[in-house]
């Protein structure tokens, strides 16, 4: 009988790819969704990935409810806690994001501890490191922590920091700090399994659809979703991941560079791609009025650097080239008529 892995948030971009890769490698997968109405979408995603679903099942879990967690982890050898709330629009109350992220992490880790699974791998975010106060030229590592009390942070970043810290505190209280592994991805892009483009893919969708007359000077640490999925699976068993935070992200590429890749590699669907870049000073000015820019103002004109050595050691190979990931993302969007 195959080892069973619980993957929370399986209807999401990372969760779907991770579940599909687990099935390819011969694991049995139990995936959680918040709403049963999404079960059909998840099965369609697995079909799109071309995997055998004979050992695949779906359960219902809510980050804000205790119901079903004990049953979900029963019989599992590993737990991948991928689920986390995310909304594009700024919530009226930050706790709309923070509370389910923190409580969900505690429920997932607590249930897995109680069930005696071998390891939990938790999806966090590079945001828990990249907004730490640091001097110019600093290379961010897993030792860096974003301060959740910094008033400039948006609710999403605060939710990620507090959820990761809550999970770490719980395993430390139980005396098993090395039992938890954390994956900290950057802006995740790559081939789509459903028509839900995901948060980071939306940036490429906006570029390709002509929604941006000029491209703001934002520089994002992109990563291919397939590398993120592979890192989660490797972290289940590799001793080097035990108790570690693993940055899975490249050094940032600007949105105007992304647009250039799309025009070069996908000329047939690049008619609406803007050619003009918004100057850094104007991007900063626009961030006063535009919520999405305001929430990402720390990324305006920035050239951050990240130590991805741990990820590439874990994977056993360099991260996939970002131009290739951009091309695959763009082709998926075009094939699904999402631009």
Spatial distance between the Cα atoms of 180 and 123, rounded to a whole number of angstroms = 11
Query: Above 60 in pLDDT, residue 10?
Result: yes
Query: Above 70 in pLDDT, residue 292?
Result: no
pLDDT band (50, 70, 90) for residue 270: very high
pLDDT of 267 reads: 96
Query: Above 70 in pLDDT, residue 269?
Result: yes
Of 90, 92, 160, 303, which one is the catalytic site residue? 160
User: Per-residue pLDDT tens for 107-165?
Assistant: 999 999 999 999 999 999 999 999 999 998 899 999 999 999 998 888 999 999 999 99
Q: What are phi and psi of 235, to 5 degrees?
A: -70, -15
70-105 b/e (C-beta count within 10 Å ≥ 16 → b): eebbeebbbbbbbbbbeeeeeeeeeeebbbbbbbbb
pLDDT (average), residues 166-184:
97
* 160 part of the active site: yes
pLDDT of 38 reads: 86
pLDDT of 285 reads: 66
Spatial distance between the Cα atoms of 244 and 250, rounded to a whole number of angstroms = 18
Instruction: For the chain, give the mean pLDDT.
Output: 92
Query: Above 90 in pLDDT, residue 183?
Result: yes
CB 90 within 8 A of CB 154: yes
Q: What is the largest CA-CA distance in the chain?
A: 59
pLDDT (average), residues 29-33:
97
Spatial distance between the Cα atoms of 121 and 276, rounded to a whole number of angstroms = 41
- Domains of the chain as residue ranges with CATH: 4-191+221-251+303-321 (3.40.50.720)
97: its two tokens:
């994001």
pTM above 0.85, yes or no: yes
Spatial distance between the Cα atoms of 181 and 117, rounded to a whole number of angstroms = 13
């Amino acid at each position: 009988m195959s080892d069973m892995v619980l993957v929370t948030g399986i209807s999401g971009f990372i969760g779907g790819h991770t579940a599909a890769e687990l099935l390819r490698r011969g694991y049995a997968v139990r995936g959680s969704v918040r709403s049963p109405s999404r079960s059909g979408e998840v099965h369609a995603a697995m079909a799109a990935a071309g995997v055998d679903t004979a050992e695949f099942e779906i359960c219902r879990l809510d980050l804000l409810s205790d119901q079903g967690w004990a049953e979900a982890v029963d019989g599992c050898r590993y737990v991948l806690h991928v689920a986390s709330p995310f909304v594009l629009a700024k919530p009226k109350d930050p706790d709309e994001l923070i509370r389910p992220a923190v409580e969900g992490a505690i429920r997932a880790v607590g249930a897995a501890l109680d069930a005696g699974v071998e390891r939990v791998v938790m999806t966090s975010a590079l945001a828990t490191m990249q907004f730490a106060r640091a001097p110019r030229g600093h290379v961010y590592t897993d030792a860096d922590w974003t301060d959740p009390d910094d008033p400039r942070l948006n609710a999403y970043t605060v939710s990620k920091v507090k959820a990761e810290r809550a999970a770490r505190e719980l395993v430390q209280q139980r005396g098993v700090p090395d039992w938890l592994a954390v994956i900290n991805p950057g802006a995740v892009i790559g081939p789509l399994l459903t028509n839900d483009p995901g948060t980071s893919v939306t940036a490429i969708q906006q570029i390709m659809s002509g929604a941006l007359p000029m491209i703001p000077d934002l520089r994002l640490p992109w990563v291919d979703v397939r590398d993120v999925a592979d890192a989660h699976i490797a972290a289940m068993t590799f001793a080097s991941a035990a108790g570690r935070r693993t940055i899975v992200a490249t050094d940032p590429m600007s949105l105007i560079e992304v647009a250039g890749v799309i025009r070069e590699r996908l000329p047939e669907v690049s008619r609406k791609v803007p050619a003009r870049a918004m100057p850094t000073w104007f991007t900063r000015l626009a961030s006063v009025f535009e919520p999405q820019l305001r929430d990402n103002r720390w990324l305006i004109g920035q050239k951050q650097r990240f130590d991805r050595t741990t990820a590439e050691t874990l994977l056993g190979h360099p991260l996939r080239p970002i131009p290739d990931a951009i091309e695959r993302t763009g082709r998926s969007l075009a094939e699904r008529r999402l631009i």
